[in-house]
Amino acid sequence: MKVAIYSRVYEQDQKADIQRLTDQLYQNAIKPVFFRGLYEQIKDQIHFTATPELFESSTDLNDAFECMISLGGDGTLLDTVTLVRNQKIPLLGINFGRLGFLASIGREELDSAVASLVNHTFVKDERTLIHCDSNTPMFHDTPYALNEFAIHKLDTSSMIKIHAYLNGEFLNTYWADGLIVATPTGSTGYSLSCNGPVVFPDSGSFVITPVAPHNLNVRPIVVPDNNIISFEIEGRADSFLCTLDSRKAIVKKDVQVAVKKEDFTVSLLRLNENNFLQTLRNKLSWGLDRRN
């Protein structure tokens, strides 16, 4: 069995945890394959039982991998989505960041995480993705995201006017700083910070949430994810910003943009005892009333 290990940046306080993870993988006959960028940062810090294999891109991955382990926060795990693509390699997030909503397994649970890999006692959650199409090249060969697609004005430019359509039928015109289309997974991210609703990961929906809307009677709306959502943008500036998770593209306002559900999904691994409701309560203090 082998697993891929990815992280953006190595920090000194992670040394003991990465060493423990590496040792336990070797001890359980699991071969770790490190992302080259990570390996270059840790090769003089971590003792390896054997010289590890390395990978650099999605072309180095295949179905021989049991999973990809993400070491970091939620942003790091979102990076791995662009690495595994449609290869059906599950993602296991170890939280070295702050909130860790997607990367929900804490450092103190490393032993349990390795044991779940060895014994195959983990739970696999299928998550839908959002796909972006446009008549201008954007996002190269990874035009999809786990959390959200967003349209946003540039810097200090005035608000933009976004005409939104569902399967060609007019939905609404948003006078706002921007507009978010979130997956169920992304409903607890950027959309939530703009007062969007939390929806369950398996709800089969998109959440359309305006960013700082000019009209106060414009509210977020949940639509089925079998819709194609298209946009026309107007504004005083010539360009605006499109984002897929943490990736961005600056495009002209006459671009034609549409989003839909991606044809494939990604799998997130979790320990048996960690479910969506527990994560809501633990990470977002869902329902917490300090008066009681």
Q: Where are the alpha helices (DSSP H) in 72-149?
A: 74-84, 110-119
Residue 72: CB atoms within 10 Å: 25
Pairing state between β 53-55 and 31-35: parallel
Alpha-carbon dihedral sign for residues 175, 176, 178, 182 = negative
Q: Which tokens belong to 199?
A: 């929806």
Pairing of strands 160-166, 178-182: unpaired
258's tokens: 């549409």
Catalytic site includes residue 74: yes
Rounded distance between C-alpha atoms, residue 174 and residue 14, angstroms: 44
Of residues 60, 74, 111, 177, which has the active-site annotation?
74
Give just the sign of the alpha carbon dihedral 148, 154, 159, 164: negative
**Sheet of 160-166, strands arranged across:** 144-145, 130-134, 257-261, 229-234, 160-166, 169-176
Bridge partner residues of 182 (DSSP) = 148, 207
Q: Residues with catalytic annotation?
A: 74
